[in-house]
Amino acid sequence: MDHQRVIRDVTVRLPMASSALEACRWTVTALSRHTSATISVLLAVHDRLRCVAATGAWQVFATVPAGTGIVGRVYATGTPAVVPDVTVDPDYLPVRPDVAAELCVPLLDPAGRAIGVLDLQWSEPVDLEPWRETTQRLANRLGARIAALGGPPAESRSEKLLRHTAALTSAPTEGDVLAAAACAAREVSTLSTAVLLIAGQLGPPPVAPSDLETRIRAELTEAGPAALDRMVDRAHRYGAGYTLGEAGHPPTEDYRPLTRAGVHTLVAVPVGPPDAGGVLLVADERALRPDPTTVSLMELLAGQAWTSLDRLRTLARLREQASSDPLTGLGHTGPFGQRIAAATPGRTALLAIDVDGFKTVNDTYGHQAGDQVLVGLARALEGALRHGDELYRIGGDEFVAVIEVSRPEEAVRIAERLTEAARRIGRTISVGVALPRPGESPDRTLRRADQALYAVKRQGRDGVHLSAA
């Protein structure tokens, strides 16, 4: 192999390349005439390496996270990788099933910063040392040409939207979703400001809002709920809309608060369903005419934002259902166990509560009537507890209140308030009270509260008994 000839053949057209992408594709095509290797050039775009030219394989990775694989390692360290046996390198990313060796070198700009990598993979035995020098020299020429042409190509708007979609999907709270959607709208549209209105509420402002966004938020707040509802209704009734960037035409009345704030360009996109959703407002002080692609991208973004919000709300409902009794809405055994595990000896009181004569209600009037008794009693007991006290349903007609007290007598007084609340709705309850002893397990404390409850039952029901300290 005449490696000097390889370098001449591959680099002869580089000075004529009119773009970084063209330079990379010419390099790959010319180099493929001299080797059977799979060849690829990956350039840095935001936080990933994007494959911009490749040959010699059925499939390649479109993008690779900047620290992933041998290519990511070479880009991150700026050090070439010569891998005679890819099976022993834990960073190897399989592109072809038969690859045996890999050679990867960084593409550097004149300042020595990595802007991408040139990667070759062979499926047959090859002497990598001469190829290492040749590939490094080719990478130096290619890196210099890319830098002369302005560097790697900028991230496209669709790539930006894809990146922001990942951020929306992983956002942990509704506020984070709204903030991420507004950030995405600004970056993808290239307009200066984005505000989300959901269910009549403005989304959270950015850390450093622009003057225009500050004015928009002030005008929308002053306009009041009715004006905000009209904007949302307009977007849902007629669909997405955008300005034409032409002077001398008055805005529609619904958007007067925005024009008072200084808005001359606006894209308005509906978000979610009309009854629970809202509108995405993307604006600028400049008089521009957004192209249809920009509007379509904003519609895609609005759809993804609503999907992310709906997912969070669904998860919240599922968590609520998993942690609460479906009949009474009270917490059940799962959260109760977590709560009593944090009980403080001598301060946290457990009040075991049993409904007197409940079996008779079920047997005489049926389970539907019994359910009504439980729901009514749950509301009565909740109303008799103090703020911060907690009530759980842990069995059929068995409840437990967990309360913080300064002394046992205080717990007894609250238990007596519960019995009075039950009497007011025509029921009676038996209540056993216990405070954890030092070193005592929560289960043992609850058993003592149950024993105190059954002491009340033996004495005729409708009362309170305190377990011995």
- The answer on pLDDT for 325 being more than 90 is no
3-state DSSP assignment of residue 89: coil
Give the architecture-level CATH label for domain 3-148: 2-Layer Sandwich (3.30)
- The answer on pLDDT for 441 being more than 90 is no
State the burial class of residue 176 (Cβ atoms within 10 Å of its Cβ: 0-12, 13-18, 19+). Answer: middle
Distances from the Cα of 399 to the Cαs of 330, 357, 445, 446, in angstroms? 9, 15, 15, 12
- For residue range 171-180, list pLDDT tens digits in order: 999 999 999 9
3-state DSSP assignment of residue 165: helix
- For residue range 304-314, list pLDDT tens digits in order: 999 999 999 88
So what's the pLDDT on residue 289?
92
pLDDT band (50, 70, 90) for residue 315: confident
So what's the pLDDT on residue 255?
92
- For residue range 94-109, list pLDDT tens digits in order: 888 889 999 999 999 9
pLDDT band (50, 70, 90) for residue 318: low
CB atoms within 10 A of CB 316: 12
pTM check: above 0.85: no
Q: How high does pLDDT run on average in the chain? A: 91
Q: Do domains 157-319 and 333-466 have the same CATH topology?
A: no
CB atoms within 10 A of CB 319: 10
Give the architecture-level CATH label for domain 333-466: 2-Layer Sandwich (3.30)
Domain ranges of the chain: 3-148, 157-319, 333-466
Give the β-pairing of 265-271 and 278-284: antiparallel
Distances from the Cα of 402 to the Cαs of 64, 366, 382, 411, in angstroms? 53, 30, 12, 10
CB atoms within 10 A of CB 339: 17
3.40.50.10140, 3.30.450.40, 3.30.750.24, 1.10.560.10: which CATH number matches 157-319? Answer: 3.30.450.40
